[in-house]
Chain A
Amino acid sequence: MISIRNLSKNYEEVQALKNISLEVKPKEIFGLIGPDGAGKTTLMRILTSLLLFDEGEVQVMGKSPISDYQFIRNHIGYMPGKFSLYEDLTVEENLSFFANIFGTTIEKSYDLIKDIYQQIEPFKKRKAGALSGGMKQKLALCAALIHYPKILFLDEPTTGVDPVSRKEFWHIIQQLHHHDITIFVSTPYMDEANLCDRIALIDKGEILNVDLPENISKAFDKTLYAIQCHEGNYQLIKKLREYTHFDSVFPFGEEVHYTDARATDIESDIKLYLEESGLTSIQIRKTASTIEDVFISLMNKN
């Protein structure tokens, strides 16, 4: 559905995208996961034909975003990170306006947007500017879907949104999937990776890995220990960092995640060292790596 080969994009001296390649299959939820400044929005703007690129080949639905931008624009939906509908128009007016531009009507698309639109329909006479953040987001999504797009591009739809609203939004995305829409979504939240069919990890303009989320979590090549102690994570991290065999350590929820420079099973060694360092009630266990562990280790290698 989307094919990118050796794509590069520079802004003056800054290399925003460095020779990236990836494929997005029809009807999948493809997640682009990485921090601010990684190049997520740049890539999204290139794919939606809003930005030119310097090198490489890009095809969206088999068409070039440069020469066939009109075709692409008619067949994709795009929800930018910033709310960009008309704040002075009502909910209904905004939707009618976008329907009109694409030569359709709210009624014709109702089947697709129904589940989302019903949640904002009680406020259809309200101006978009007076809606809450969550409502604005639902309206923007309806507008992006009004012409039955083949691909939906969502640029950080859940940034700054609380965990409950994030869950609800992902539920909506997964429902849309049943309408044969390919979804290309970006997010800085690593824990959303598991909600996608496939993901690409991106950092500083480079793709670190592309795979199924479960394969990426497993790609961690060291034994990972989860450790806790009575004195708290700060003291624990300090002591672990002073350990002769220290490889990496960082806080992870209520525990710290630690890797050791040795490959052998050394749980009891670590425990003994920490006890000798004056820490108490030490709990140590091997733990499964998450996407975030893998992301951190790939960033360090980079």
Chain B
Amino acid sequence: MEKIIESTELTKTFGDFTAVNKITFDVKKGEIFGFLGANGAGKSTAMRMLTGLLSPTSGAATVAGYDVFTEQEKIKKNIGYMSQKFSLYNDLTLMENITFYGGIYGLSNTQIKERGEKLIERLDLGNIKKKLLKEVPLGWKQKIAFSVATLHNPKVVFLDEPTGGVDPITRRQFWEMIYEKADQGMTVFVTTHYMDEAEYCHRISMMVHGEIHGYGTPKELKKEFNAQNMDEVFIHLARGDQYNLK
């Protein structure tokens, strides 16, 4: 299976502080990969290196076939990115947002029109096409943001806590969209604080203090740590055996 992300001992230090310490993992084509860890474990730093926004200190990694040290601009063109903070323009209409982002990703006018219309049809948004995004209900916005982030058919899309605060129905519809893209061969790299969502991923890595301490399928991890669910795996890894609230 083709590897879309390959990281070998990737490291980032800020002065004396090692934010990411020799992480080694890979993500395959069409895989939904969950990138988990406590607040401050180094997830964001790692993600910024993989998306070409931050230069690593040492190690090696490629994303969509491009080197994270020397080909950062090419990486940016070949990935999609959606942050937890809604990043489309609220003062533009849906179609204007699509045109703007399509343009940035280098799509032709015909492609933008074609894909934009397909997106609107797929999400059943014909009736709000001409509305400003600020008038669109919150639940829809995340789905729109995801669709726009994948408009240029990137090889891999990075989702940073895409479902925070979203209602449970929308959250599930969102995951179905992720499944669909993965089924079509897109690689999905996702962070989340919902541990039930961790189980929706094909494979997972769990970061603790800048290092990867857990790596495998949810089933393998639960077995390895003798846990009922991912919540227990997380707590075990983040705080160790001695962790006990009672």
Q: Which residues on A are within 8 Å of B, measured CB to CB?
A: 34-38, 132-134, 159-165, 167-168, 171, 188-191, 203, 233-234, 237, 250-254, 292, 295-296, 299-300
Contacts and interface: CB of A to CB of B under 8 A. Distances in A.
B175 interface: yes
Nearest to B161: A160
Contact of B176 (A161, A191, A251, A295): A251
B195 A237 contact: no
A35 B176 contact: no
29 contacts: A34-B167, A35-B165, A35-B166, A35-B168, A36-B165, A37-B137, A37-B138, A37-B139, A133-B39, A133-B40, A134-B39, A160-B161, A162-B38, A162-B193, A163-B193, A163-B231, A171-B245, A188-B165, A189-B194, A234-B182, A250-B169, A250-B172, A252-B196, A253-B199, A253-B200, A295-B168, A299-B167, A299-B168, A299-B169
B178 to A, nearest CB: 9
Interface stretch (B45-53, B89-97, B233-241): B233-241
A164 B238 contact: yes
A134 B41 CA distance: 13
Contacts of A159: 164-165
Interface string B212-246: 00000011000000000111001100110001010
Report which residue of B164, B168, B199, B218 has the largest number of chain A beta carbons within 10 angstroms of its beta carbon. Answer: B168
Nearest to A159: B165
Given A35-B165, A35-B166, A165 B38 contact: yes
B167 A163 contact: no
Contact of B234 (A37, A163, A188): A163
Contact of B235 (A37, A161, A164): A164
Contacts of B84: 160
B71 interface: no
Contacts of A191: 196
A160 B172 CA distance: 18
A164 B234 contact: yes
Contacts of A134: 39
